Amino acid sequence: MHDDIKKISVSEQEIKEIVKRLGTSISKDFAGKKPLFIGLLKGCIPFMSDLLKYVDIECTMEYMKVSSYDGTKSTGCVKVDGKTPDVLGREVILIDDILDTGRTLDSVKKLLFEAGAKSVTICVLLDKPEGRVVDITPAYVGGLVPNEFVVGYGLDYNEIYRNLPYIGVLKEEVYKK
Ligand code: IMP
Ligand code: MG
């Protein structure tokens, strides 16, 4: 385990089971619908690529670059970088690493509906329900985590730790220096 990690929240093995379960459910629920997967960069990268290995229906994928965090705090202001993908008439499955306040996915969901998406379904690897400030419920959730700052498997602290193969709680002394 990395020295900056206090404890492992979701092990590599648990992540494998989660992505398999979610990919299989999505394939069943979206059979015949040709959904468009949109991943929110950069946190979605390991999760989305592993998830799609278990999606066995016709689908396409796009990415959007979105940010709202400064260190371990949500700034409350969601920034979308670049063009919105063409979603006109599409059934979109929005992929993110973690749902916390809900502001990011809520803003992106609204944007996609404004751009003509037929439906927007949310799929997150992790949910931190205690952090919620906007009313948003994901259709697919890998696992629940308490209100602690976690990193790894795409999740970062100031861009670091995304490459850890597991998800762990960051030691407070790392960000409270
Ligand atoms: P929300 O807009 O507050 O729901 O935050 C969602 C985004 O905040 C995620 O896509 C992450 O980038 C980031 N985030 C929220 N909680 C954590 C965490 O515990 N670790 C790392 N990033 C987090
Ligand atoms: Mg993110």
- Residue spans of the domains in the chain: they are 12-146
Tell how far the Cα of 98 is from the centroid of ligand 1, in angstroms. Answer: 5
Eight-class DSSP state of 2: -
Burial class (CB in 10 A: 0-12, 13-18, 19+), 6: middle
Name the fold adopted by 12-146: Rossmann fold (3.40.50)
> Is the distance from CB of 112 to CB of 93 less than 8 angstroms?
no
Q: Mean pLDDT of all residues in the chain?
A: 94
pTM of the model: 0.94
52-97 tens-digit pLDDT: 999 999 999 999 998 776 666 766 677 888 899 999 999 999 999 9
User: Pseudo-torsion of CA 29, 32, 34, 40, nearest 10°?
Assistant: 0
What pLDDT does 126 receive? Answer: 98
Question: Residues lining ligand 1, judged by CB closer than 6 Å?
Answer: 40, 43, 68-69, 74, 96-104, 149-151, 155
100 catalytic per annotation: yes
> Is the distance from CB of 96 to CB of 44 less than 8 angstroms?
yes
Choose the catalytic residue: 70, 100, 106, 135.
100
* For helices 12-29 and 45-52, angle between their N-to-C axes, nearest 10 degrees: 60
Tell how far the Cα of 129 is from the centroid of ligand 2, in angstroms. Answer: 16
26-48 tens-digit pLDDT: 999 999 999 999 999 999 999 99
Which candidate, 52, 115, 56, places its Cα nearest to that of 80?
115
Pick from 63, 68, 95, 135 the residue to mutate for probing ligand 1's pocket: most ligand atoms within 8 Å of its CB.
68
Structure token pair of residue 22: 């979610």
